[in-house]
Each structure stands twice: as structure tokens, then as C-alpha cells.
């Protein structure tokens, strides 16, 4: 039987934080042995926010080294840069003609970004989900590992695929999310009611490749709640609840067990131990990253090979799509 196809993407916007890792990347690593995986550094998506050409270039290579350091194996998966396959943008156009503007306007991410960038809400922010749908559908992917924040975009992708299939004939399978419950939404360290995100600012996220000293400092400063018990209570203690979920992810233990271990102990001690667990959990990857980060030519070679493999499938599929739509005369 043919292996099912997996697709996911990450924007090259700098650091990789705990939310990216536990929400999505950890699933990438788990899926790479079982499925036919396409993983993409989505640099065209990153352009929807202000980013300089030089940092986009630099972050594309850096994000690739992060992924390799975490254990993604380019011999098993197709690891490539989105803009290397121009069919993504061609398909974005073709899908845009079956996407109602109203659907795009009600996307939560768009509404949030529109507020954030009041003066210049570029059309790219609105069309972002169509580009994401084209990433997925170009490879006819069926399983999509993402964090909870991307579920709405994935639901829209299914709707776009349905509409395309209805108008032009059965072409795309309907993709499903692969979610890891506990990690699907890691919250900000400074405002635990918001999701962890780089765009909120330094104190909100924890970069998994940050210096150990920085990790200790950020966890020590993480907002906790009044009271002093280490107890999971999402409503009354969202800060501690978030840290307990993180603890349980890096330690592979149930939250109940962790609560028991910390009975009678205070926040400071809990945070100190948590910081060390996080540092340990990522220490091997961190070492690999430090050894790899200046080997730009090797990284470019890996991406070139990824491009070759992605192109093979993408080209075959775009030919079929062009024909269905009536572009072949």
C-alpha cells in the first residue's frame, strides 16, 4: 500500500519556541518514519509580516539547521523551501477563485493581525490561508501536524478542496489535522491567557535553543499566580497550569504525579527544576545546532535535494490541476 502523505510548514521568523516544538515539530519527528512527509520552510508566509530581506535569508538557513538538529532526517523526509517551488503561488491563484472573501475575513489569525498592523493590513495577510491550502493540496497531503491555532486554517483548506473538487472534478483528498493534546496550545510565559508567540515580545516565549542561562531567567520570571500550591487549575492558576503542562511534556509524566512530587514545595523550587529539565531535554539538539550553524553550504545542499524531490511530485500534480481547470489547450 502507498504511504499516506504528510505536510507541514514553519515560518522562518527566528527562534523556535516551546509551542512550535510541542504543538507541531515533535509530531514531525514522530511521523517521519511512518509516512511520506513533506516539511517546508514557508518563507512566502513569513513575508506577510515586516521582515528584512537579509533576516529572511538568514532565518531560512537557521530554521533549517534547527529542524535538522532536532532530528529531522532529510533522507527520510522531503525538507524544502516553499519559494523554491513556484507552483505553490500558481496554485494559490487557482484556489483563490473558489475561496469566498467572507471566509478569509472571518479567520481569527487575520483579525488578530489586522488589529496588530492597523495601518497597513496587506492583502497577503488576508490571502495567507489560501497559500497554506495550496502548500497542502499541491502534494495531495492527508495528515497535517499543527498546533491548535492552525485548525481554523485547516478547516478552510478542507472547504477550499471541497469547492475545487465540486467545480473541477475530484482532485484533492480532504486533509486532517494531527494534534497532540497537551502540547497543542502552549501559553505565553508573561500572559498565560494568550498563546505563546514570538510576535508578543521577548518575555512571552521560550526559545528552545536559547542559552541555558536565558532559559533559567525566563522561567524564573514566568508569571505565576497568587497562592503557593503547585496545583493544576486552568481557570484560577493559568500560569502554573501552563508550566505544569510544559513540565509534563519534557518529563513524560502525568500532571497528577508532578503535583504529588511538589506537594509542600513552592513556586521557586518548581521553576528551578523545570528550567533544568527543559535545558536537559534540548541539550543534545542544542549541541548539534552549535556544531552545524556555520555549515551553510551543507545546509544549502540539503535544501537543493529537498527541492528536487518536492518538484517531482508538485510538477506531476500541477499538470493534472491545470488540465482539470482548462489551462491546457
324 is annotated as an active-site residue: no
Beta carbon of residue 113, minimum distance to ligand AMP (angstroms, whole number): 11
Handedness of CA 255, 257, 190, 188 (dihedral sign): negative
**Residues comprising the chain, all counted:** 329
| Rounded distance between C-alpha atoms, residue 176 and residue 154, angstroms | 8
Which entry of ligand AMP, ligand TRP, none binds 243, CB below 5 to 8 A by partner kind?
none
Which residues of this protein are in contact with ligand AMP, per CB under 6 A?
A: 10-11, 19-20, 23-24, 146-147, 149-150, 184-186, 195-197
Beta carbon of residue 159, minimum distance to ligand TRP (angstroms, whole number): 15
Are the C-beta atoms of 184 and 170 separated by less than 8 Å?
no
Are the C-beta atoms of 188 and 196 separated by less than 8 Å?
yes
Beta carbon of residue 239, minimum distance to ligand AMP (angstroms, whole number): 15
Looking at beta carbons only, is 150 or 285 nearer to ligand AMP? 150
Beta carbon of residue 210, minimum distance to ligand TRP (angstroms, whole number): 20
Find the catalytic residue in 195, 218, 237, 271: 195
Q: Is 11 in the site for ligand TRP (CB under 6 A)?
A: yes
Are the C-beta atoms of 45 and 17 separated by less than 8 Å?
no
Structure-block grid coordinates of residue 46: 513569513
140 is annotated as an active-site residue: no
**Under rule CB under 6 A, which residues in 85-144 are in contact with ligand TRP?**
132, 135-136, 144
Are the C-beta atoms of 95 and 87 separated by less than 8 Å?
no
Looking at beta carbons only, is 62 or 195 nearer to ligand AMP? 195
Nearest to ligand AMP by Cβ — which residue? 23
195 is annotated as an active-site residue: yes
| Rounded distance between C-alpha atoms, residue 113 and residue 79, angstroms | 28
Given the C-alpha cell 497532540, which residue does it identify? 180
Question: What DSSP character marks residue 97?
Answer: T
Q: Is 83 in the site for ligand TRP (CB under 6 A)?
A: no
Beta carbon of residue 47, minimum distance to ligand AMP (angstroms, whole number): 13
Q: Is 318 in the site for ligand TRP (CB under 6 A)?
A: no
Structure-block grid coordinates of residue 202: 521577548
Strand ranges across the sheet with 143-145: 78-81, 36-41, 5-10, 143-145, 176-178
Looking at beta carbons only, is 42 or 258 nearer to ligand TRP? 42
| Rounded distance between C-alpha atoms, residue 164 and residue 98, angstroms | 6
Dihedral (Cα; 188, 121, 52, 287), 10-degree rounding: 20
Looking at beta carbons only, is 34 or 253 nearer to ligand TRP? 34
Enumerate the active-site residues.
113, 195, 198
Q: Would you tell me which residues interact with ligand TRP (CB under 6 A)? A: 7-9, 11, 42, 45, 132, 135-136, 144, 146, 150
Amino acid at each position: 500500500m502507498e504511504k499516506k502523505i504528510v505536510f507541514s510548514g514553519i515560518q522562518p521568523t527566528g527562534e523556535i519556541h516551546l509551542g512550535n516544538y510541542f504543538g507541531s515539530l515533535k509530531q514531525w519527528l514522530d511521523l517521519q518514519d511512518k509516512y511520506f512527509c513533506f516539511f517546508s520552510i514557508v518563507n512566502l508566509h513569513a513575508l506577510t509580516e515586516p521582515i528584512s530581506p537579509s533576516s529572511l535569508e538568514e532565518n531560512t538557513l537557521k530554521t533549517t539547521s534547527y529542524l535538522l538538529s532536532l532530528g529531522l532526517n532529510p533522507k527520510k523526509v522531503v525538507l524544502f523551501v516553499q519559494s523554491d517551488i513556484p507552483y505553490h503561488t500558481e496554485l494559490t491563484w487557482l484556489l483563490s477563485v473558489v475561496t469566498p472573501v467572507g471566509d478569509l475575513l472571518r479567520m481569527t489569525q487575520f483579525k488578530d493581525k489586522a488589529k496588530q498592523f492597523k495601518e497597513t493590513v496587506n492583502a497577503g495577510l488576508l490571502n495567507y490561508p489560501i497559500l497554506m491550502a495550496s502548500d497542502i493540496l499541491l502534494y495531495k497531503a492527508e495528515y497535517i501536524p499543527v498546533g491548535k491555532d492552525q485548525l481554523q486554517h485547516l478547516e478552510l483548506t478542507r472547504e477550499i478542496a471541497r469547492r475545487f473538487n465540486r467545480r473541477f472534478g475530484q482532485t484533492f483528498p480532504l486533509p486532517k489535522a494531527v494534534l497532540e493534546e497537551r502540547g497543542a496550545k502552549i501559553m505565553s510565559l508573561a500572559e498565560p491567557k494568550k498563546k505563546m508567540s514570538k510576535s508578543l515580545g521577548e518575555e512571552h516565549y521560550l526559545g528552545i535553543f536559547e542559552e541555558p542561562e536565558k532559559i533559567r531567567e525566563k522561567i524564573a520570571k514566568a508569571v505565576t499566580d497568587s497562592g503557593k500550591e503547585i496545583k493544576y487549575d486552568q481557570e484560577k492558576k493559568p500560569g502554573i497550569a501552563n508550566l505544569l503542562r510544559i513540565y509534563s511534556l519534557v518529563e513524560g509524566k502525568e500532571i497528577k504525579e508532578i503535583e504529588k512530587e511538589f506537594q509542600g514545595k513552592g513556586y521557586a523550587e518548581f521553576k528551578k527544576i523545570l528550567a533544568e529539565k527543559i535545558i536537559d531535554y534540548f541539550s543534545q539538539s542544542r549541541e548539534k545546532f552549535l556544531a552545524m550553524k556555520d555549515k551553510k553550504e551543507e545546509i544549502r545542499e540539503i535544501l537543493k535535494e529537498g527541492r528536487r524531490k518536492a518538484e517531482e511530485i508538485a510538477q506531476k500534480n500541477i499538470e493534472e490541476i491545470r488540465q482539470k481547470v482548462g489551462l491546457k489547450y
